């Protein structure tokens, strides 16, 4: 029974990895972030404000398409919104019908008081006319409120149209999605570009990903978060860089019996280069 327990422990160590032993594998360094910055609209490439090798910040303008027509559309949408806003804030008709209603109601009240004091001083037909005038103005007041409500909806629609025009204008600019280095400029000023066509290639090298494969029986998911060392350089000049294991694939390659792993390696000083090969060592806890 004791022998069976020992054998079972050895088997589990082989299957799940022994956390007390360092595990090594060959890795390739890759950027943590990389992107082909595309044109988000179709048009003429008017300018490129950066070149290959330049460091850019998140959101920085890298270039722009010809946006003259879009700027005119924004100006028009702004004017239409201002017009709709002025119309939506115009309460003159409501105030006019309110005053007219007050006058008509007062006149009807005086007529009724006159009849109470002096019978037949005002004919029934005249009273009906004054009552109808009050009801008419009440409806006019409600209509004025309804039209003002529609004008305010119209103002909101124009506001949406203005925001859509501004968005189309922004989409004519090429902006950096993250901080990084321009490594390739594909577009040329004066060329026609289609929506989605790559114009620049951007990579972030402040952090790199050391990616490789390890035997499935030497690693397990619980090792994620452990400290690692990346050894790079020539045989006579080896450098060690610290990192953290960030991923162990839950899938085993049925042919090689290996799993994909990668570690995050700080590289703020730029000593490591994407594409460089090295050895990753997972240090025991």
Q: Per-domain residue ranges for the chain?
A: 16-67+181-282, 68-170
Which backbone phi and psi does 244 adopt, to 5 degrees? -135, 135
Predicted pLDDT of residue 122? 81
Summarize pLDDT for 220-247 with one digit per residue, the tens: 899 999 999 999 987 778 889 999 999 9
Predicted pLDDT of residue 116? 82
Residue 36 has pLDDT above 80, yes or no: yes
Predicted pLDDT of residue 211? 96
Predicted pLDDT of residue 11? 36
Strand partners, 207: 266
Predicted pLDDT of residue 119? 78
Per CATH, the homologous superfamily of domain 16-67+181-282 is Efflux pump adaptor protein, beta barrel domain (2.40.30.170)
- Contact indicator for 281, 232 with CB cutoff of 8 Å: no
Say how far apart CA 274 and CA 30 lie, in whole Å.
Answer: 5
Model confidence, pTM: 0.72
With cut-offs at 50, 70 and 90, classify the pLDDT of residue 3: very low
Torsion angle of alpha carbons 219, 221, 227, 228, nearest 10°?
40
Predicted pLDDT of residue 2? 45
Summarize pLDDT for 80-106 with one digit per residue, the tens: 999 999 999 999 999 999 999 999 999
- CA–CA distances in Å: residue 238 to residues 230, 231, 235, 254, 277: 10, 6, 6, 34, 12
Predicted pLDDT of residue 284? 80
For the chain, give the percent of residues with pLDDT over 90.
Answer: 74
Structure tokens at 245: 């294991």
3-state helix, strand and coil shares in percent for the chain, rounded to the nearest 5: 40, 35, 30
């Amino acid at each position: 029974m004791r022998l069976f327990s020992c054998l079972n422990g050895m088997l589990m160590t082989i299957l799940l990895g022994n956390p007390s032993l360092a595990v090594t594998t060959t890795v390739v360094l890759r950027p943590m972030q990389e992107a082909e910055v595309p044109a988000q609209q179709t048009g003429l490439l008017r300018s490129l404000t950066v070149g290959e090798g330049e460091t850019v910040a998140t959101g920085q303008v890298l270039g722009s398409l010809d946006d003259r027509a879009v700027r005119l559309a924004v100006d028009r949408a702004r004017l239409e919104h201002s017009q709709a806003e002025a119309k939506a804030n115009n309460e003159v008709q409501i105030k006019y019908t309110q005053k007219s209603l007050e006058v008509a109601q007062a006149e009807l009240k005086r007529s009724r008081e006159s009849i109470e004091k002096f019978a037949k001083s005002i004919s029934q037909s005249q009273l009906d006319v004054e009552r109808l005038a009050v009801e008419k103005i009440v409806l006019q007041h409600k209509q004025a409120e309804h039209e003002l409500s529609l004008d305010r909806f119209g103002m909101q629609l124009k506001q949406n149209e203005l925001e859509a025009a501004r968005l189309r204008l922004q989409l004519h600019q090429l902006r950096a999605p993250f901080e990084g280095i321009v490594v390739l400029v594909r577009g040329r000023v004066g060329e026609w570009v289609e929506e989605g066509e790559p114009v620049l290639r951007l990579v972030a090298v402040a952090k790199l990903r050391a990616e490789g494969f390890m035997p499935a029986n030497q690693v397990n998911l619980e090792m994620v978060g452990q400290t690692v060392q990346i050894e790079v350089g020539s045989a006579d000049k080896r450098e060690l860089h610290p990192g953290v294991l960030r991923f162990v694939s839950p899938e085993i390659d049925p042919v090689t019996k290996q799993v994909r792993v990668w570690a995050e390696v700080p590289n703020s000083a730029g000593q490591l280069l994407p594409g460089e090969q090295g050895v990753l060592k997972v240090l025991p806890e």
